[in-house]
Structures are given as structure tokens and as C-alpha cells.
Amino acid sequence: MDNAKLVFDGKEYELPTFIGTENEPAIDIKKLRDTTGAITYDPGYGNTGACKSSITFIDGEQGILRYRGYPIEELAGKLRFSAAAYLMLFGKLPTEKEFTDWSKALTQNSFIHSSQVNFLDHYPSKAHPMNILGSMVSSMSSFYPHDSEDEDHVNINIQRLVGQVKTIAAFSYRKSVGLPYIYPRTDHSYSANFLRMMFASPAEEYVVPKVMEDALDTLLILHMDHEQNCSTSTVRMVCSSMANIYASISAGINALWGKLHGGANEAVLDMLTQIHQDNGDYMKYVNMAKDKNSNFRLMGFGHRVYKNFDPRATLLKDIVDRVLEEMGIHDPLLDIAKNLEEVALKDEFFIQRKLYPNIDFYSGILYRALGIPTEMFTVLFAIGRMPGWIAHWLEMRQDPDLRIQRPRQIYMGPTLRHFEPDGTLM
């Protein structure tokens, strides 16, 4: 591939180029400022590649999502979450023995340190579970060794993070409703353990419905990684300072908490509820979204990366239908969602703007069907995203090009001025 040519301030410069394994061309601008004196301006980093990665590939124009080379359609609904997490973290699918050992290790390392449980007990009962999750993960560095150069420490901390995130989440829910904690079991899958810890009673046996277990597995896999999104980029940013794994992941959790990131599925459910309470008049809200003088926008449509149908939404739509049918649930919000989707796929306003339904459009409805309270939606997102965050942390610490991340800025403030003391401020 030829070098790129840049004409700037009357001079011509050549910039190196390279191509990724999926034929994505890139211009290497590492020495741009040194050679030209200029920097790039790219708000939101929409055109800036901050790293080379071998974890996740997205083609937004074609609606393609692959983990470690595997299409999402071949993983979601066909693997247990813990098997997909192994693939995400270690770059290959586990053998039967590796899967058994890995699943057992996740359960054995899912028990929260007793002093941390005491820490959790002192949160207010109405504390948001994302606040609890972020601070509890951050505090893990006070309880466990976290030498990033010791592979044994790294491996056990990976198991602790993936294992304990669901325990912290379930405990925070049970605390909020005044229920005693339920601990995980080695004879349950990852998702079955989470559902049991959420909803079981100590007074009787609780059998996790398989349809719920399978649906949660799929949901978590669909959320597992999505390239350099806000929370993943935050993990990488913090990791670049050589912060420990717990500090880096906690930062990602806090980034995910934002309503424009992990909180989007809550916003979808709020919107559907609002429409339902307004006699289900969904066309009223479609017209409001199309009105340039209105501030209303339909939540769950469009995506920063996908300019086609979000492949995760395609998979999730089928799962929602199946779960509601098998569990005998009629949800009027789903009827509204289907009507909105039908309009969006046929209306030129949405087609021209490529406003297709995304994963948030259906995930909130599925969480609702599984009995997950609304304030826990983003926590479920974090549970699914945990292996992805850790995979990026692992990849970055092994990157030979690792440098502490330090974006530039274009200064637009006052030019040089001087302070002349007159005694009033002294």
C-alpha cells in the first residue's frame, strides 16, 4: 500500500500506511506533529485508531460482529457464557477439560471476601447497584495481590473478577430488597448461578428455568465486547498508566454507568412505558421524532458504528419472542416495540438516516421478562462486558507500542495577557 500524501502549509509530506487483517486501511500519524507541527482534530475519536487489536472485528456498513474471528451468530445461543468468556480472554475455544476446569475456577473464585461483604452491608439500601459494583471492584485491590508482572496473580485475578462480578451484582440486589444472600454452587452454570443468587429462597429448592438460563447466556455473550467503545477505551486509558487490573476495570464500570452508554436500555424501557401509558399511541411518538422542532428522539434506534442492522439486535429479537412465548408472558411493551420497529424499517425518514433498531431496543424487554429490575440493567451489561474489558487490559499490557495515553487539544482560550496588581486582590 502506498504512503499517504499530505499537503499542509504549502509543503507535501508522506505518511506511512498499513492494512489490518480485514483490509481496513490506516494512516500512521504517530510522527505527524514532529514532521508538520500540526495535530489532528477528531472530537469523539470517531476517525482515530488508538490501538491495534486482535479481539473484536466490526464492519458497521455490513452489520458484522466477530469475536476472535468467530461471527457472533455462531456463538450467541450456541455457547455457555463461560465458554465464550474463555474464547474472549485466551483467544481460542476451550477443550472439554479446559471448559470444566475454567467453569469450576470461576465458581470457586466467585465468593466475596468476608470483609468486603461487611463493606457492602454498610451501603444505603437504595444505593444504585452500579455505584456498588464500581466501588466494590475497586476495593478488591485492597484484598488481593495484583502484581501485573506475576502471571499467577494475573490469572487468579481474572477468575476473581469474572466470578465475583455476578456475586456482587446479586448481593446488591438482595440487599436492596432486604433478602439474605445466596451463594453460588459448582453444579450450576455461570448464568444459572446468577439467577439463583438473585431469586432463590433459603427456605426451599430453586430450579432455574432453562429458558431463562439460555436467554441470559445469550444476552451476556452479545454484550461481551464491542471494540473501542467508551468503557473499553476507558479501561485502556487507565491501563496505559500501569494501573492495576482492579483500578482499570472499575474505571470501565463507571464509564458504562453513563446514560449514553450502558444506560441506554433503561431509556428504551422508559420510552416504551411512556408510550404505553399514553394509550399505546406509538405513531404520535414516531411523528414527534420526525419533527425537527421537537426534542424527542426514539431510544434504541441507530448506532455510532452500525450503518446497517445491529446483528446483536437481530439475534435478540428472536430470543425475546421465544422467551415470552415459552414463559407465557404477554408484554404490551413488546407489542409497542414491534410496531415501532416495523415503522422504522419502512419509513423513509428512518431508512435514509440508517436508524435501525440496536441491541438496547430489545435487551431491556428481555431483562424485564427475566425478572431483572430496571436499576440492574446496566449491571447485567457490566457482567457481560467483563471478559471483554479484561481481554483489552491483557492485550494492552503486552503491546510493544504501549505508551501512556495522552491526547492533545486545540487551545481556544485567551492569548497571552498579564496581571497588573493594584492592591485590591492582595
Residue 53 and residue 392 in contact, taking contact as beta carbons nearer than 8 Å? yes
In this structure, what is the dihedral angle of CA atoms 296, 234, 31, 56, given to the nearest 10 degrees? -80
- pLDDT confidence of residue 338: 85
pLDDT in tens for each of the 426 residues of the chain? 789 999 999 999 999 999 999 999 999 999 999 999 999 999 999 899 999 999 999 998 899 999 999 999 999 999 999 999 999 999 999 999 999 999 999 999 999 999 999 989 999 988 999 999 999 999 999 999 877 778 888 999 999 999 999 999 999 999 999 999 999 999 999 999 999 999 999 899 999 999 999 999 999 999 999 999 999 999 999 999 999 999 999 999 999 999 888 988 888 999 999 999 999 999 999 999 999 899 898 898 888 888 777 899 989 988 988 898 898 888 898 889 889 988 988 899 998 888 888 898 889 889 988 999 999 999 999 999 999 999 999 999 999 989 999 999 999 999 999 988 877 766
DSSP class per residue in 93-134: PPPHHHHHHHHHHHHHT-SPPHHHHHHHHTS-TT--HHHHHH
- pLDDT confidence of residue 150: 81
- Non-local CB neighbours of 342 within 8 Å, separated by 6+ positions: none
- pLDDT confidence of residue 80: 97
Distance CA 350, CA 344 (A): 5
Going from N- to C-terminal start, the domains of the chain cover 4-65, 70-405
- pLDDT confidence of residue 421: 81
- pLDDT confidence of residue 98: 98
Distance CA 55, CA 396 (A): 11
Residue 400 — φ and ψ, nearest 5°?
-65, -20
- pLDDT confidence of residue 151: 86
Element (H, E) at 344: helix 332-346
Q: Which residues are the active-site residues?
A: 303, 360
- pLDDT confidence of residue 341: 85
- pLDDT confidence of residue 1: 78
Distance CA 57, CA 65 (A): 6
Which of 79, 104, 105 has its CA nearest to residue 92?
79
Question: Can you give the pTM of this predicted structure?
Answer: 0.92
- pLDDT confidence of residue 15: 95
Distance CA 380, CA 170 (A): 10
CATH for 70-405 is 1.10.580.10
Q: Which CATH class is domain 4-65?
A: mainly beta
Residue 183 and residue 164 in contact, taking contact as beta carbons nearer than 8 Å? no
Residue 362 and residue 333 in contact, taking contact as beta carbons nearer than 8 Å? no
